[in-house]
Amino acid sequence: MWPLLTILAIAAAIGIYLGWQKKFARLQRQTQVEMEDFRRHQQQTTIDAKAQQQVLFNSMLEGLLLLDRGRKIYLANRAFKNLFGVKAEMRGKTIMEVLRLHELAELVERAEAEKQVLDYELKVPELKERWLQVNAAVISNSAGEREGTILVFHDLTRLKQLERTREEFVANVSHELRTPLSLIKGYVETLLEGARNNPEVAEHFLRIIARNAERLDLLIQDLLTISALESGRVQLNLQPVAVRLVAEKVFADLKSRAGKRSITLKNELPDLSANADEGRIEQVLANLVDNAIKYGRPQGQVIVGGKSLDEAKAEFFVQDDGPGIPVESLDRIFERFYRVDKARSREQGGTGLGLSIVKHIVQNHGGEVWARSEAGKGATFFFTLPLAAPKVEEVAEVEAA
Ligand code: ADP
């Protein structure tokens, strides 16, 4: 009896052991699967976080560069790569290996040594000079140990260019104002010193003073116009404008000037209606025709013409048969104060701003302006303007026909 009971007990124990072992193995497998799931989930979370971080960094307008403890690049965002035109993989490389910019490498060293945010202006020597503002700061962990360095880059090039243009403009304006002013001052002093006693000399000097005062007045008027046009303060009063009639008015105003040089004015404009500000278009035509008279050939002719290019746009031109404009100056003549022949322009009472005003007005209308010229064969100035929508009756007439 006892041996049987012992065998049964052993068999039961083995059964229980095997059962537990199976259950344990199942539990172990389940735990493994869960652990694996957890690991995968964590991995995915890290990948998602990194992707989100990348999207965030790449959406920044500022260039961003993260360096690790060993000053190797850990991350560079899209703006940074665009700023420096880097296409290759940068991770793990040093600043010097990627950009060869000593100044930047030194800035990182300084940021580490000084342990504060540094603000620095960096000039990047390239074909086209570029200016960047760089902020550099050290990243530390909670124990205060250095983990790396962060550099943020702002592109200052446009701002610097604007600053330079403004400085040049102020310098040019001062120069332009000084010339007539010093002439006026000089002749007034000479008159006061006694020249006024000789009526003939006095009249001659007073005429020079009057001419220069007139020049100052023109210059100031042009400067005010340019400044208003550039600041966008000018509200265009758009309405259908019969450009042919505007040219007639301009011709009437400039007839005596043309007559002095025996220049014939020809209006070849067809009946076109531009969608424009009449006063401003008159200014455009007046400046172009005035230039054509000033710089054109004596006894020559000035023609104003145009045609519609499509339903929405028309092209106009002002042509003279003077000496023309050198090819290398064709693009520059629309710049403020640019003159091909400074002495000639001043002698003719020019301010050097006429074409710049023309360009602004045409562009404010959504048009373009350009010039064509061949040495000795005259100059032609072209500009485009939007056409006015045809009147309802006109559409009806066309449809009926
Ligand atoms: P300005 O007051 O000197 O005439 P503009 O801006 O009107 O200033 O013109 C700039 C320069 O372009 C002129 O100084 C002149 O050298 C040149 N220019 C303009 N129109 C003509 C033209 N029709 N023929 C030759 N040169 C011209």
Instruction: For residue range 16-70, list pLDDT tens digits in order.
Output: 888 888 898 898 999 899 999 999 999 998 888 888 888 888 889 999 999 999 9
**What burial class does residue 66 get, using C-beta atoms within 10 Å of its C-beta: 0-12 exposed, 13-18 middle, 19+ buried?**
middle
Ligand 1 atom closest to the CA of 291, numbered from 1: 20
* Cα(277) to centroid(ligand 1), Å: 24
CA-to-CA distance for 91 and 67, rounded, in angstroms? 9
Here the tokens at position 159 are 């701002």
pTM above 0.95, yes or no: no
Task: Pick the more confident residue, 124 or 150.
Answer: 150
pLDDT at 338: 92
Mean pLDDT in the chain? 91
The alpha carbon dihedral of 267, 268, 271, 273 has a sign of negative
Q: Within the chain, which residue ranges are assigned CATH 1.10.287.130?
A: 158-234
CB atoms closer than 10 angstroms to residue 74 = 18
**Tokens found for residue 396:** 């009806």
pLDDT of 323 over the 90 cut: yes
| Alpha carbon of 159 to ligand 1 centroid (Å) | 30
Pocket of ligand 1 contains residue 321 by CB under 6 Å: no
CATH annotation of 60-155: 3.30.450.20
Return residue ranges of the chain for CATH 3.30.565.10: 236-401
Domain 158-234 listed as CATH 1.10.287.130: yes
pLDDT at residue 232 greater than cutoff 90: no
Averaged pLDDT, 359-363? 96
Residues 117 and 152 sit within 8 Å (Cβ to Cβ)? no
For 81-95, write each residue's pLDDT tens digit: 988 888 888 899 999
pLDDT the model gives residue 18: 85
Encoded tokens for 89: 């993989």
355 in contact with ligand 1, CB cutoff 6 A = yes
- Residue 334 near ligand 1, beta carbon < 6 Å: no
Residue 233 belongs to what H/E stretch? Answer: none
Ligand 1: which residue has its CA nearest to atom 14? 339
Run of H or E including 290: helix 278-295
Is 3.90.1150.10 the CATH number for 236-401? no
State the pLDDT at residue 247.
98
- Using DSSP's 3-state secondary structure scheme, residue 138 falls into strand
Is 211's pLDDT higher than 70?
A: yes
> What DSSP letter does each residue of 265-329 carry, written as one string?
EEE---S-EEEE-HHHHHHHHHHHHHHHHHHS-TT-EEEEEEEESSSSEEEEEEE--SS---GGG
pLDDT band of 11, cuts 50, 70, 90: confident
